[in-house]
Amino acid sequence: MKKILLPTDFSDNSWNAIKYTVQLFKNEECTFCLLNTYNPIIYHLEYAPDNYGQYGLLDALRQTSKEGLETIKEKILKDFSNTKHTIVCDSSFNALIPQIQETIIKEEIDLIVMGTTGATGVKEVLFGTNTIHTIQNVKCPVLAVPENFDFEQPKEVLFPTDYMVSYKSNHLKTIQGLVKLFSFRLNVLHIRSELGMSEIQESNKKILEMAFQRSEAIFYDRENENIVNAINDFQKNGRINFLIMLNNKHSFFENLFFKPVINQIGFHLNIPFLVIPTR
């Protein structure tokens, strides 16, 4: 049984991510953990947690959080009733990232799914601050779902790579499991430099080729092309409706998605995007 964490702030985009997830795993036995955290901003010492009860603030926040989660649970059961699915609620007085980290260990979470709002500023480059911080700090696969994306079963999936990751069994197991579950085709995209590939890259590519059958994956090499343009073009022309990447820190992924230059080169992400940590 899969355990999937669904953090929510009760916004429309977080509800869209929840809808996508319960439809995506409609044929799988899953436990969905709805998570809402509440943590008032403390501006002055006199408003420290010990004094919250005096003003009734903490009780009000807790009640709002619990009621919000129950409302979402009832909505899921009404709109997507599924005997294979179990829904639990977690209302926590904590910051979001520490609570997610605690929950994935305690509940043995397999996947985190979060809604995104797109590029709205320097600090919210592609996904929104919470999603970026989750991807950077949590050791669990994260699926980011764009706020206006209507559900589609994954059919053509893009997997850009620089072949600089030493693919481990847990990385491949996650992708192989998805290929088997959804019967999609994996399009592996590499941008070859003028210098060609190193021995390490060649070795890592062979690991990928051995992990997937010919019917499951197609490998593409593009010559000296801008990686952002290549992904955008492939996504558009290949009818891609799902994206997978490995987060290899200080390399391809981080440079592509978390550097300020991304605001200038116009990466457009409008499909669900799965990030698998390598550390």
Q: How far is it, in rounded angstroms, from Cα 236 to Cα 233?
A: 5
- pLDDT at position 227 is 77
Q: pLDDT band for 162, please (50, 70, 90 cuts).
A: confident
The angle at the Cα of 254, spanning 252 to 260, to the nearest 5 degrees, equals 115
156-269: what CATH class? alpha beta
The answer to whether residues 31 and 163 touch, using CB atoms and an 8 Å cutoff, is: no
Tell me the pLDDT tens digit for each residue of 5-53.
999 999 998 999 999 999 999 999 999 999 999 976 544 444 455 555 5
Going across the sheet that includes 242-247, the strands are: 85-92, 30-37, 2-7, 111-116, 142-146, 273-277, 242-247, 156-160, 185-192, 217-223
- The rounded percent of the chain whose pLDDT value lies above 90 is 51
Mean pLDDT score, 187-197 = 85
Residue span(s) of the chain under CATH 3.40.50.620 come to 2-146, 156-269
Mean pLDDT score, 259-271 = 52
- 153 Cβ contact list (under 8 Å, min separation 6): 24, 182
- pLDDT at position 215 is 77
- CATH no., domain 2-146: 3.40.50.620
The answer to whether residues 184 and 211 touch, using CB atoms and an 8 Å cutoff, is: no
Q: How far is it, in rounded angstroms, from Cα 92 to Cα 137?
A: 19
Tell me the pLDDT tens digit for each residue of 105-140.
999 999 999 998 644 443 334 456 788 788 888 999
The model carries a pTM of 0.86
Q: How far is it, in rounded angstroms, from Cα 19 to Cα 117?
A: 16
- pLDDT at position 232 is 81
Q: Is the model's pLDDT at 66 over the cut of 70?
A: yes
- pLDDT at position 265 is 36
